[in-house]
């Protein structure tokens, strides 16, 4: 089946309309008409070749929502017409230690939604900037939000789960002080989720203009990280900091804000490495710097249900496919409140 998509033929070329093939629906497959797809900073890193190994043409997009168009003969949990989502994972080995416990995101054989090897043409996966996608039922998520919120649900499939998972893993909740660094797509979801979990939330931003916005998102306090005095006031006080920044920066300025046994979980994935942190800052208070990658399929469903229950969606700017290139430039400037979402009907 040939469908319309938007992608790039090279890292230094803009994205443009192209046609791609989707496999015929197999027994365990769900075929989805994509309604909306979020624009993640990872899409930009990948399609511009900032991360190694991009295959071209590259069709990004892993914040996918839409309706089931058809199901394979062995699929019983989904029916045509159901509202569903696809995140960053479209396959995994299904039998390793990680898959067995629903942590497919840490399976060595995980197949990402774009730019990962697959038996389907053209030999690597193509993402959600497209009209349709065909995915094994195991990786299909159910959406329980009202349909009119569908576009704003899309970013939950990556930005939502990538912040939800470390917040849960490191125990964000009442009595815990949680920092969220960077108020972009991931960060704004991190603020909403940590607030809904009952933590005391402090947002860190480089943009003075986002101070008031962070409060509206649910931050109890906001710190402009360039301001040394403001930073000092929070020294040795955090249980957990989730760092979403998409560029290399000084990690020590945040490590020193952790209290004893505190953890900073890095989720931002810059293309160049951070300078080595000062080990003494870790040793002297038994602090940790950790990493976290998206979340497994069961936890992603749990996150979607938590968001439906608490009325949480992303703050979005809806765009047509012909605005994708412009949206990348604006994302690089931090000029988005707080996630661009593509209306996939404009791919026609």
Judged by the rule CB under 5 A, the positions of this chain that interact with Zn ion are 40, 42, 158
Task: Report the nearest approach of Zn ion to the CB of residue 157 (Å).
Answer: 8
Q: Which positions touch ligand NAP (CB under 6 A)?
A: 40-42, 45, 158-159, 162, 182-187, 205-207, 210, 244-247, 249, 267-270, 292-294, 331, 334
Which one, 33 or 104, has the nearer CB to ligand NAP? 104
According to DSSP, the residues that pair with 193 across neighbouring strands are none
**Contact, 226 vs 205, CB < 8 A?**
no
Q: Which residue is nearest to ligand NAP (CB)?
A: 184
Which one, 30 or 156, has the nearer CB to ligand NAP? 156
Which one, 51 or 56, has the nearer CB to ligand NAP? 51
What is the distance between the alpha carbons of residues 32 and 66, in angstroms, rounded to a whole number?
6
Cα–Cα–Cα angle for 136, 321, 336, nearest 5°?
Answer: 100
Tokens of 332: 């690089």
Task: Report the nearest approach of ligand NAP to the CB of residue 75 (Å).
Answer: 28
**Contact, 79 vs 71, CB < 8 A?**
yes
Which one, 4 or 330, has the nearer CB to ligand NAP? 330
Task: Report the nearest approach of Zn ion to the CB of residue 297 (Å).
Answer: 16
What is the distance between the alpha carbons of residues 39 and 76, in angstroms, rounded to a whole number?
31
Which one, 86 or 134, has the nearer CB to ligand NAP? 86
Task: Report the nearest approach of ligand NAP to the CB of residue 333 (Å).
Answer: 9
Tokens of 271: 């293309």
Which one, 50 or 82, has the nearer CB to ligand NAP? 50
According to DSSP, the residues that pair with 339 across neighbouring strands are 316
What is the distance between the alpha carbons of residues 333 and 38, in angstroms, rounded to a whole number?
18
How many CB atoms neighbour CB 335 within 10 A?
12
Residue 338: asked if its preceding bond is cis (omega within 30°), the reply is yes
Decide which of Zn ion, ligand NAP, none touches 270; Cβ closer than 5 to 8 Å per partner kind: ligand NAP
Tokens of 258: 């952790």
Decide which of ligand NAP, Zn ion, none touches 1; Cβ closer than 5 to 8 Å per partner kind: none
Decide which of Zn ion, ligand NAP, none touches 210; Cβ closer than 5 to 8 Å per partner kind: ligand NAP
């Amino acid at each position: 089946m040939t469908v319309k998509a938007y992608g790039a033929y090279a890292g230094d070329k803009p994205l443009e309309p192209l046609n791609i093939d989707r496999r015929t629906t197999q027994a365990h497959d769900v075929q989805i008409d994509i309604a909306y797809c979020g624009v993640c900073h990872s899409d930009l890193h990948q399609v511009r070749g900032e991360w190694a190994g991009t295959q071209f043409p590259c069709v990004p997009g892993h914040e996918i929502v839409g309706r089931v168009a058809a199901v394979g003969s062995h699929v019983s949990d989904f029916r045509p017409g159901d509202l569903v989502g696809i995140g960053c994972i479209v396959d995994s080995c299904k039998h390793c230690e990680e898959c067995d416990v629903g942590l497919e995101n840490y399976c060595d054989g995980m197949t990402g939604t774009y730019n990962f090897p697959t038996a389907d043409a053209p030999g690597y996966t193509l993402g959600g900037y497209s009209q349709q996608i065909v995915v094994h039922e195991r990786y299909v998520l159910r959406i329980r939000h009202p349909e009119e919120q569908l576009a704003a649900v899309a970013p939950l499939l990556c930005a939502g789960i990538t912040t939800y998972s470390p917040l849960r893993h490191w125990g964000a909740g009442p009595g815990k002080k949680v920092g969220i660094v960077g108020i972009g797509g991931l960060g704004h979801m991190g603020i909403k989720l940590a607030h809904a979990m009952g933590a005391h939330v402090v947002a860190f931003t480089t943009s003075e203009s986002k101070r008031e916005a962070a409060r509206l998102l649910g931050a109890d306090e906001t710190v402009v990280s360039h301001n040394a005095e403001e930073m000092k006031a929070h020294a040795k006080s955090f249980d957990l900091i989730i760092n979403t920044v998409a560029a290399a920066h000084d990690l020590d300025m945040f490590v020193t804000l952790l209290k004893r046994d505190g953890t900073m979980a890095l989720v931002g994935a810059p293309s160049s490495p951070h300078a080595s942190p000062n080990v003494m800052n870790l040793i002297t208070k038994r602090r940790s710097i950790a990493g976290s990658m998206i979340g497994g399929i069961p936890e992603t469903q749990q996150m979607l249900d938590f968001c439906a229950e608490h009325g949480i969606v992303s703050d979005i700017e809806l765009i047509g496919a012909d605005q994708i290139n412009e949206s990348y430039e604006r994302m690089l400037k931090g000029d988005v409140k707080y996630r661009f979402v593509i209306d996939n009907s404009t791919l026609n």
